[in-house]
Amino acid sequence: MISINHGEFADPWRGPKPMTQIPWIHETAIIKDSRMGEWTVVGSGCEVIASDIMDYAYMIKDAEIFNAEIGKFANIASHVRINPTNHPVWRATLHHFTYRAKSHLMADEDEEANEISDWRNSKRVIIGPDVWIGHGAIVMPGVSVGTGAIIGSGSIVTKDVEDYTIVAGNPARLIRRRVSEEVADTLKRIKWWDWERTRLVAALGDFRKLDATEFAHKYGEI
């Protein structure tokens, strides 16, 4: 057997380019018409269009996000798709030559008022703070994912996901709650994701050693 160490990691946790307060964006990522908060990460091969990425949220690699609000401290695994665009099922054809006629050299301009674009833009996806979206999951247009929720790998989410629940499957269904409703309510009242960075650093030991219930007891007076 030959010992091999080849290549460089393409992320800020293991690679040569560390995180900073300024958004960390891999050179192969595409970001258009979007805004990003502090300590955010967009990994290799990701595409972010018309979206807001809040503080500390990250996506690993090859994720595609369109017309979405990604909450603080969101954890997005590789190959996740958020808000894949639908096609006009009410028309005689599903093909985009009808609304991208200019690209197909079939008209001088695309549709006036662009009905399809307006329709797609009306279906914004909202991802709450501290959400974990597993590898290869798809969140469909117009869906809201609640605070602290988990979406299992490979799931297709077609309906809203409640706070602090775990969903999985195709279509995604409730598996169980992450924490009790009482603890969830307390965590939402604490809103640790809105704390200043100095307070987060001061509480780092508790984030590490306390479970969610213990943390809620300490900081929220259950």
What residues are labeled active site? 87
Residue whose entry in the numeric block shows the structure tokens 């996806």: 125
Do 82 and 125 meet the contact criterion of CB atoms below 8 Å apart?
yes
Length of the chain equals 222
Of 158, 191, 189, the closest CA to residue 173 belongs to: 158
Tell me if residue 210 falls in helix, strand or coil. coil
Give the residue carrying structure tokens 């300490």: 218
Dihedrals φ, ψ of 101, to 5°?
A: -60, -35
Supply angle C-alpha 104, 141, 99, rounded to 5: 20
Helices (H), the chain: 115-121, 181-190, 197-202, 204-209, 212-220
Rounded Cα distance between 58 and 88, Å, is: 32
